[in-house]
Amino acid sequence: MSGDTEADTETGEDAGALTDGFHLIIDALKLNDINTIYNVPGIPITDLGRMMQAEGMRVLSFRHEQHAGYAAAIAGFLTKKPGICMTVSAPGFLNGLTALAHATTNCFPMILISGSSEREIVDLQQGDYEEMDQLAIAKPLCKAAYRILHAEDIGIGIARAIRAAVSGRPGGVYLDLPAKLLGQAMDAAAGEKSLVKVIDAAPAQLPAPDAVERALDVLKGAERPLIILGKGAAYAQADDAIRALVEKSGIPYLPMSMAKGLLPDTHPQSAGPARSLVLKEADVVVMIGARLNWLLSHGKGKTWGAEPKKFVQIDIEPREMDSNVEIAAPVVGDIGSCVQALLGGMGEGWAKPPAAWTEAVNTKKETNIARMAPKLMNNNVPMDYQGALGALRGIINERPDAILVNEGANTLDFARSIIDMHKPRKRLDVGTWGVMGIGMGQAIAAAVETGHPVLAVEGDSAFGFSGMEIETICRYNLPICVVVFNNGGIYRGTDVNPTGGADVATTVFVKDARYDKMMEAFGGTGYYATSPDELRRAVNEAMDAGKPALVNAVIDENAGTESGRIGNLNPQSVVKKK
């Protein structure tokens, strides 16, 4: 009898146990193997972050929500799981929104979780603290947006956000959490039952057999075929299959910047150094996870030459087809399944491209590589871009596991073609939007998610958008070496005020700025480099140490061109004032 009474007492205690919104959010994320949060604390999420940390999650606090968001976005790219950015309401939400739109544009899975005012106050516009209809604002800028009002819906709400972020074409998702949701209590057992583990969040999408056959038929008729690899191919993590397709076909390939390293840039079929030639002369182009947007001149115009092209496009989103030009052979499905299907359809006797084509590509490559080689070996003082990047090129060659983060105008353009990548997903940059300011957020997430050392090569203008996050790098003691290419301005440091007035030109910065001292102020190591040799020594020392470091690399203020290689996008005035 006494045993029965004890059992009844225990059951009664269990029945009375409570959980709340704070704990259900944590439990729902952990159940789905999401254990890293990028955030800026504040009302109403400060305690949520504390509790997450207490439950063993890694919570990294940034100085600005935009950079926490960029970190979450690139975490999604690297892991194929949604990166999580957590912000306060209204202003913090808006700061994170740029990163959410960036993630959606680049097809990176990300969830922006923001605290918000209560629904009844927002709808009556009663002037709450940081009041804003955040859900309405987020909807046009992301793949999906949800609001959770009741604790019992937290499990299903987070599950929906995860599935929306990673399924089909990945993208950004907004999850709105009103403040009072966090403190809502409910029965612990019922709360546990309400949690949802997402099963097969991104199921394989197999291409139609007739689409595969059509693509192979188009490819068989090619005299000058080309494969273009986009960052979607890198995201897919179908590395072995993609390499097998490229090598079995014998077709020259051109990697877009974040697809560099899917095959080593030194691979004999790489057409990177002959980019202009292959785009103009190819007659059949196979697009794998790449889009015919502005980065590829929309598939038309002088970039693509006078001869008509046939395009084979592999993409998980059918609406991407025919977006700029006619696609002769659309293949809709996930990259891995589509590439495997093409490999299977090629059989054993697939004919390689005509030798005249591959020899023409190789000749152009050799000519361009030979022309660039002496420029990369110079030891000029002050440095030019080629000499400085030549030094960094050698460092990445010796450290193929290091992750390169790259942003700027000239700094980005030159680095993209000069620094060879050897492994997949080791080059991270500004992406489809060309966003400046991604640098420190991406560097932090790359170090956290992979555990590998990071080299962030930044133009001085680009660095200015996120430079305060070097305190975050130091606070978490991350193995990140930041190199700031300092030429004293946006594009270059030589512009003058046309009025002759006291204000400097709109594109000019403080002369001889010491960005290295910023790193030292937070306890990291600062270096000052004026030559490629000094730069090489400083970066090697910093990378060997594996500690926060910043190298202030002095670049000739005359080096650089307006807007780098996309100066043609600047509108021109035809009006001359007297």
- Segments of the chain assigned to CATH 3.40.50.1220: 209-363
**For 53, what's the count of Cα atoms within 13 Å in the CB-facing half-sphere?**
12
Q: Specify the pLDDT at position 15.
A: 57
- Measured at the CA of 272, the angle between CA 268 and CA 276, to 5 degrees, comes to 125
Per the CB < 8 A criterion, the answer to whether 270 and 364 are in contact is no
Bond into 382 cis (ω within 30):
yes
DSSP SS3 for 228: strand
Q: What is the CATH number of domain 377-562?
A: 3.40.50.970
- DSSP H or E segment with residue 105: helix 91-106
Tokens for 169?
A: 């074409």
| 209-363 CATH pick, 3.30.930.10, 2.40.50.140, 3.40.50.1220, 3.90.45.10 | 3.40.50.1220
Cα 271 from chain centroid? 23
Per the CB < 8 A criterion, the answer to whether 318 and 207 are in contact is no
Task: Give, as one character, the DSSP assignment of residue 268.
Answer: T
Per the CB < 8 A criterion, the answer to whether 457 and 483 are in contact is yes
Nearest Cα neighbor of 74 from 429, 475, 436, 456 is: 429
Tokens for 17?
A: 């146990």
Q: What is the CATH number of domain 20-194?
A: 3.40.50.970
Q: Tens of pLDDT along the chain (578 residues)?
A: 444 544 444 444 555 899 999 999 999 999 999 999 999 999 999 999 999 999 999 999 999 999 999 999 999 999 999 999 999 999 999 999 999 999 999 999 999 999 998 888 888 888 888 879 999 999 999 999 999 999 999 999 999 999 999 999 999 999 999 999 999 999 999 999 999 999 999 999 999 999 999 999 999 999 999 999 999 999 999 999 999 999 999 999 999 999 999 999 999 999 999 999 999 999 999 999 999 999 999 999 999 999 899 999 999 999 999 999 999 999 999 999 999 999 999 999 999 999 999 999 999 999 999 999 999 999 999 999 999 999 999 999 999 999 999 999 999 999 999 999 999 999 999 999 999 999 999 999 999 999 999 999 999 999 999 999 999 999 999 999 999 999 999 999 999 999 999 999 999 999 999 999 999 999 999 999 999 999 999 999 999 999 999 999 999 999 888 877 777 788 888 887 76
CA distance 298 to 308: 14
CA distance 49 to 36: 11
Residues in the chain: 578
- Segments of the chain assigned to CATH 3.40.50.970: 20-194, 377-562
